[in-house]
Structure 1
Amino acid sequence: MIPECTRSSETRSRTRCHYGQAAEPNQNRCGLLSQIKTPINNEPFTDHYTIIPGKELGRGKFAVVRKCVEKCTGREYAAKFMRKRRKGQDCRLDIIHEVSVLELARASQRVVNLYQVYEMASEMVLVLEFAAGGEIFNQCVAERDEAFKPDDVKRLMTQILEGVCFLHRNNVVHLDLKPQNILLTSDVPLGDIKIVDFGLSRMVNSSQELREIMGTPEYVAPEILNYEPISTATDMWSIGVLAYVMLTGISPFLGEDKQETFLNISQINISYQEEELEHVDRAAITFIKALLIKEPQNRATAEECLQHQWLQPTEPAEKETTVQVRETISPTERTSEPASPESPIREEEEEEEGPVTEELIVMAAYTLGQCRQSTDKEVMTPDQKAISKRFKFEEPFSALQEVPGEFIY
């Protein structure tokens, strides 16, 4: 398996260039769209927008995302500056494809909105919706008491699946779903998600097979490593890894190097008995298991995941009230009439029949759902605190990416 990965990585740039240089009239044949409706503005970008100094939102090998403000409205946006030539190749068509996918996804509130497109001599600029909450990655790697709560993960995962479901219904595969490409509309309170970065996305259909080596090592599906056909199921593998990371803060397949990571993925080297899963809802684990399956055809679809038990709304905590009655009755005042078994607690008019003193003791029992975190902070072992041993937080994910075009937006 490892030699195959090495061989695949050697053909990576050749494969990408082949698709990027396909004949424009038949772009969809290789998974790229070539037609856009958004007008391309050739005026200087800075004539209309002010770039906020020091507000760099993200950076990739061939793009940088900066916060900017539209001069005429004062509204904030994220401007994605993308180089048109990459490693000596003209990649303008790749940018046009990304614009076209964003246009297609405008009907989904779970995908970042595209507002304008600018083109200069050496780069193009996509003016995108500004997501003030930043990447969910920041909270995925936070200390457990500051990380997402179980209910937060369920809500955000539902929204992610809604966006992915929309894309898949329109035959779009994202191919780079990871915490850095899921943004939040706000941080406090926790906002809604926006899926970003469609630089690696492709169109798929049943009549044509699409094979490419692309993605982020920790999140790629086995079929990517084996150079087998890509499908919507490829995204669903990434969703399974994403769910694991959001719930535990740990990247399940990450090895000491890329080769070990690829080996872990190809062998499905994952344990569901780890300590970090001890407090995770059992339904969430079955959700992950339904996705981290080697055979793509056996993975759950986005629509099926939305119906999974883990993501269904939970009933409010049931309040069971038990009423105990203590009666103080004088022996001389007792009657021979037995108490009705159907009325353990008598109504007010029955109280008037005798000097009966009733003391009501109300005991409330609450049925609580499982919680991953306790309010009094469980005692954590050194191994639990040092979860970065397997999830190399100190290394930016971009350092692990070998494919051109991975950006924050």
Structure 2
Amino acid sequence: MPLGEDGNGWKKKTSDIKEHYDFKEVLGTGAFSEVVLAEERGTQRLVAIKCIPKKALEGKENNIENEIAVLHRIQHPNIVSLEDIFESTSHLYLVMQLVSGGELFDRIVEKGFYTERDASQLIHQILDAVKYLHDMGIVHRDLKPENLLYYSMDEDSKIMISDFGLSKIEGAGSVMSTACGTPGYVAPEVLAQKPYSKAVDCWSIGVISYILLCGYPPFYDENDAKLFEQILKAEYEFDSPYWDDISDSAKDFICHLMEKEPMKRYTCEQALQHPWICGDTALDKNIHESVSAQIKKNFAKSKWKQAFNATAVVRHMRRLQLGTSLEGPSQITPTSPCHGLLLPEEEEEEEEEDELGNGEEESCKCTVHLRE
């Protein structure tokens, strides 16, 4: 079905998108699209616009329809929203809420003080947002730190979930089986190519929680086959000395989410009731030095990049605050990874495409983060 011909009227025709928005600078580029920082004419509101040539959509109409169907249904304070869609003769323009606070790992590394309680509050927000998705029958399927951005540069900024490129809306009686996601965060049942459900998101939240408390992933091996074997067996440890100062409650919380059997795994609702999230068991001890050192060691900076270059947004916002010139070339290189606010289509040029999928409609990119 051609884009937009479903009777929902979600597209706006335009002969020139720049009649509506003043393009400021390129935030990210990929093989099939470009994300631009733009200012809405009249309101001066900043947004991120994903510009997709229609030629790039040929054969991918189902992907974009799926993402639009997902995003149009979502209104949550911790989820990046799709605000508008424009279509010209040559392009589709997806106008997204701009989140300007930077990337999760950057903020943790920059902090001078970071505790279990900070991690607990982050996970609480993520759980609340994912529960909202699950209640709507939506499974994200690619939750990972790179898809978590801060809303603003404020110290107490909320966290935002982005990138719905692999999202799936559960139909009545439907079963998901396409193996997709990012290996280090993907649930055992996905790798086992078994039918799976929204429980895969809960596993991923467990992995993210683990990383937030130690700075390295629970599963790591330079050999993909060995990495997959670890995940399939749900083999992970709370290594000393990195976990010596972490509470038993935090470890218990992670164990309930990183449970091999999906039926035994905590749901978002159950996880929200755990004392590490809703009680007072999360410790206030400063773990910043250890966690930030491990993050810098185990997560290459080039791998942190999100749908658009968050650093460029922060830089631009600071220029606005300082009243300096907006002119000058963008600092974003042509090979900046653009994993997409929407389409999971781009990879860094030096990385080989590695699909876990079986050729179904989802294009599943795999980015492995290795501990050194």
TM range (shorter): 0.7 to 0.9
What is the alpha-carbon distance in structure 1 between the residues aligned to residue 271 and residue 278 of structure 2? 10
Aligned pairs for 1:252-271 (under 5 A) are: 252-271=218-237
The alpha carbon displacement at 1:255 in A equals 1.8
Aligned pairs for 1:218-367 (under 5 A) are: 218-314=184-280
* Shift in alpha-carbon separation, 1:406–1:226, aligned structure 2, 3 A: closer
Q: CA RMSD in A?
A: 3.0
The alpha carbon displacement at 1:205 in A equals 4.4
SS at match of 2:263: helix
2:73 maps to which residue? 104
Q: Pick from 360, 365, 373 the counterpart of residue 286 of structure 2.
A: 373
SS at match of 1:251: coil
Higher relative contact order (CA 8 A, sep 6+): 2
CA contact (8 A) 1:176 1:216 kept: yes
* Shift in alpha-carbon separation, 1:185–1:232, aligned structure 2, 3 A: same
* Letter aligned with residue 371 of structure 1: D
The alpha carbon displacement at 1:386 in A equals 5.5
1:49 maps to which residue? 21
* Letter aligned with residue 80 of structure 2: V
Aligned pairs for 1:4-403 (under 5 A) are: 36-54=8-26, 56=27, 58-59=28-29, 61-82=31-52, 84=54, 90-106=59-75, 108-121=76-89, 123-140=91-108, 142=109, 146=112, 148-205=114-171, 207-314=173-280, 370-373=283-286, 385=293, 391-396=298-303, 398=347, 402=354
* Shift in alpha-carbon separation, 1:98–1:147, aligned structure 2, 3 A: farther
C-alpha distance after superposition, 1:68-98 (max 9, x if no partner): 1112210001112345555x95212311221
CA contact (8 A) 1:281 1:372 kept: no
CA contact (8 A) 2:105 2:295 kept: no
Q: TM-score, normalised by structure 1?
A: 0.68
CA contact (8 A) 1:85 1:92 kept: no
CA contact (8 A) 1:275 1:384 kept: no
C-alpha distance after superposition, 1:42-64 (max 9, x if no partner): 3322221122225x1x5555444
Which of the two has greater strand per residue? 1
SS at match of 1:67: strand
* Shift in alpha-carbon separation, 1:198–1:275, aligned structure 2, 3 A: same
Question: How many equivalent pairs are there?
Answer: 311
What is the alpha-carbon distance in structure 2 between the residues aligned to residue 96 and residue 166 of structure 1? 21
Percent identity between the two aligned chains: 31
CA contact (8 A) 1:220 1:238 kept: yes
SS at match of 1:124: strand
* Letter aligned with residue 157 of structure 2: G
The alpha carbon displacement at 1:281 in A equals 2.5
SS at match of 1:269: coil
* Shift in alpha-carbon separation, 1:62–1:219, aligned structure 2, 3 A: farther
The alpha carbon displacement at 1:150 in A equals 2.4
* Shift in alpha-carbon separation, 1:81–1:146, aligned structure 2, 3 A: farther
CA contact (8 A) 2:115 2:283 kept: no
CA contact (8 A) 1:281 1:371 kept: no
What is the alpha-carbon distance in structure 1 between the residues aligned to residue 218 and residue 32 of structure 2? 28
SS at match of 2:74: helix
CA contact (8 A) 2:114 2:286 kept: no
Q: TM-score, normalised by structure 2?
A: 0.74
SS at match of 2:84: strand
Ranges in structure 2 where 5+ consecutive residues have no aligned partner: 305-346, 356-362, 367-372
What is the alpha-carbon distance in structure 1 between the residues aligned to residue 21 and residue 203 of structure 2? 39
* Shift in alpha-carbon separation, 1:62–1:260, aligned structure 2, 3 A: farther
The alpha carbon displacement at 1:160 in A equals 0.8
What is the alpha-carbon distance in structure 2 between the residues aligned to residue 133 and residue 156 of structure 1? 14
* Letter aligned with residue 283 of structure 2: Q
Q: Which has the larger radius of gyration?
A: 1
Ranges in structure 1 where 5+ consecutive residues have no aligned partner: 1-23, 26-33, 316-368
The alpha carbon displacement at 1:112 in A equals 1.4
What is the alpha-carbon distance in structure 1 between the residues aligned to residue 223 and residue 112 of structure 2? 28
SS at match of 1:288: helix
What is the alpha-carbon distance in structure 2 between the residues aligned to residue 117 and residue 98 of structure 1? 12
